[in-house]
Structure 1
Amino acid sequence: MFIRSRCLRLAVCILAIAALACASCALQATKQLADGVTLYQETNLTPGSELIVNCVTVDPKVEGVAIKAALCKDVIYTEDALKGCETIASLTGRRGAVVGINADFFPLGTDAQGDPLGVCIIDGELVSEPSPRHAVMAMLKDGTFVFDNPTWSGNLTLASGFGRQIDGINRFRETNELIVYTSIFDSSTRSKYKGTEVVCKTDDLPVQCGKTMNLTVAEVRTDAVNTPIPDDGVVLSAGGPAAVFLSENLKPGDKLTVKFEIKSAGNVDWTQVQQAVGGRPWVLKDGKEYVDLEYERIGSSFSTTRHPRSALG
């Protein structure tokens, strides 16, 4: 999130290494970056344990301060060497942000490096579905911030009432999945495997949690791999049994609905979420250590191996 940040970027706290130096060995500095935005820096000079901790505090109640999630290059996939990646310096500079921070992880070394692995919501639009059990930070419409470990569901329903589960949104489709694409993914589906791809028009964009989208079929393409995604619609891309379902049940002019829902592990109303980014693991809750690597299905390297780290709170 960024401030005025990659859903990959929400500026609150940047940790170079998750540890604090003792006061006698540390240098401290404070700088106001803008109204409501302050940088605190602590540097440990102890030989063998050098580190720098950067912490940015943001007061969202200050006039002119805005906290937003953002995608690198504003789309998930790009046809270039970086495959959707962008540095924080580039993104914040391009968007006019004061400060930015890494948020969710992405599939490094693949063609989908701009795809957040967990949930991403930008200005109320569902861009990426949650990753099961992984922690999420979200900002509600009233400006409050919440943490959650949500789950999700997606459903496609035909005019007959018959329906099918949706497997994801705006990510590369595997062979037997049904994925919904909007233009924030790219100009086309970039499918790795042939399947049935259905172009639909709708007046109900953007995709939002809990909102039923009414679709009208414009085109049904079989053995398709790279269907253009319309700005005023979506593409349903399916392989295996899901492809057969689409090709046998849909034709141009047919009506259907699509609905995505996110269910909180606590009491978060996800229909009220305006910005959200994923990450892992959950570190603190109510001021106490709250790390459950087994529940979040996270390897030990996240807790025992030394890495530069970013955190939000």
Structure 2
Amino acid sequence: MPANCAASAHPIASTDTTAWEAELTLGFSQRGDKTALLNRAHRGPLTVQRPFYPEGEVCHVYLLHPPGGVVAGDRLTINANVESEAQALITTPAAGKFYRSGGGEAQQTVNLKVAEHSSLEWLPQETIVYDGARLSANMHIELAEQSRFIGWEITALGRPAAGEGFSDGCAELNWRIQRDGRLFYLERQHLDGQAFLARWGLSGHSACGTMFVYPATSLHLAAVQELIGDEANRGVTLIDELLICRGLDRQADLLKGFFERVWGVVRGDMIGKEVCLPRIWAT
């Protein structure tokens, strides 16, 4: 596989002439009976709404990207640090959109750090990668030994509802997970037109996703296996307390629905609470 997203032999001209470089840093700390967003700093068009507390102490935060889409040359960086005893949930109000490119690459980097006895739920809505777009997405997660983490990333290639497939573009999706300061898990996916169609790739499915849960047990594995049953294009495995769920689907919302059901299976043990859907998902 290529090491990065190379320019197409027939590049699609982009009408966007201004590239954004934006960075957002969030810090969560336990204060009294709830988690507070005590550190919030941003540069460029990347920010958050005020925190919400629909279930008491867990701090729900919604990431906002006012331009509404990402073009070639844009660089977005999101940093989140959850201190000891804090509980945070981060999501987005809508799908992220990466538009077609004339050959340049858009970059998104997410750095998450979860301290001892704290929890983070990273639950963004799907990322839509338009045909002809070039995306490099990197997830760096630092977990303490006694931390708790639930996170997913859902990628939609092309726009099937508009009759658009994914023949001219690529997405580099990289996960790097550290536990107690040591590399724990490393994954790299290269998705292009060939991978989109191939049986060894997505086999024409427009949506693909990965979900991680830590720390998980064989009981969680068995529960998710039972949830999946004979359902096609779903899978789950357990690697040294890291539960990894994967899925393919023709629509991103169907895949998100599957991950939500898995969330419902594991959240009680991970967070100590039943699922509480972010209110922004209903708007």
The TM-score range, normalised by the shorter chain, is under 0.3
Structure in which a larger fraction of residues adopt helix? 2
TM-score with structure 2 setting the length: 0.27
| Structure index of larger Rg | 1
Larger RCO (CA within 8 A; separation ≥ 6): 1
TM-score with structure 1 setting the length: 0.25
